[in-house]
Amino acid sequence: MEEARIRTPKISIDLDSPTGIMVFRAWYGLQRCGYLVSGRISASGNGIHLMGIMPQFGDIRETYDIRRFLGDDPKRVYFDESAPPGKPQAILFDEKKGKYASEWIDDILQLIDSYGALV
C-alpha cells in the first residue's frame, strides 16, 4: 500500500548569517517553485526567515528537498523530516531571548537593506 501523501501550502526557510546573494537565491528559488514569498529578520538579528505560500497544495516531502537546496538549516530540515506525524514543522520563532523578529516584508530589496547583508 502506497504511503499517503501529506500536502501543505506553506514552506519556511531559516537562513543563518546569510549574505545578500544567499537571500536572493532562496527568495527567487521559492518564487520559481511557485511560492508567494515574504521574509523577516530573525529575533536574534543574525538571520533571515523566509515564508513561502503556495496557491495550491504541494507534497510536504518535496518541501524538504527545496529547503535543503535553498540553504535552510540542515538540522532543522532533518528534525522536521524525521518527526512523527502531527508534530508542528518548520517553526520560526517570533521571540528569542527577549528579542523579537521584525515584521514580514514582501520586498526582497527592502529586506536585504533592513538586514544589512552584503551582496
| 1 occurs within a structural domain | no
Grouping H, G, I as helix, E, B as strand and the rest as coil, residue 89 is: coil
Domain residue limits at 55: 7-115
> Could you report the per-residue pLDDT of 36-93, keeping only the tens digit for each?
999 999 998 999 999 998 877 667 788 889 999 999 989 989 988 888 877 766 677 7
Split into its structural domains, the chain has a count of: 1
C-alpha to C-alpha distance for 11 and 54, rounded to whole angstroms: 8
Crossing angle (nearest 10°) for helices 74-81 and 60-69: 170
Question: Is position 64 within any domain?
Answer: yes
Is there a domain that residue 2 lies in? Answer: no
Tell me how far the alpha carbon of residue 42 is from its chain's centroid: 11
Please report, for the domain that includes residue 106, its CATH number: 3.30.70
Q: Does 91 fall in a domain?
A: yes
Could you tell me the pTM of the whole model? 0.77
Burial of 37 (0-12, 13-18, 19+ CB in 10 A): buried
* Assigned C-alpha cell, 99: 528579542
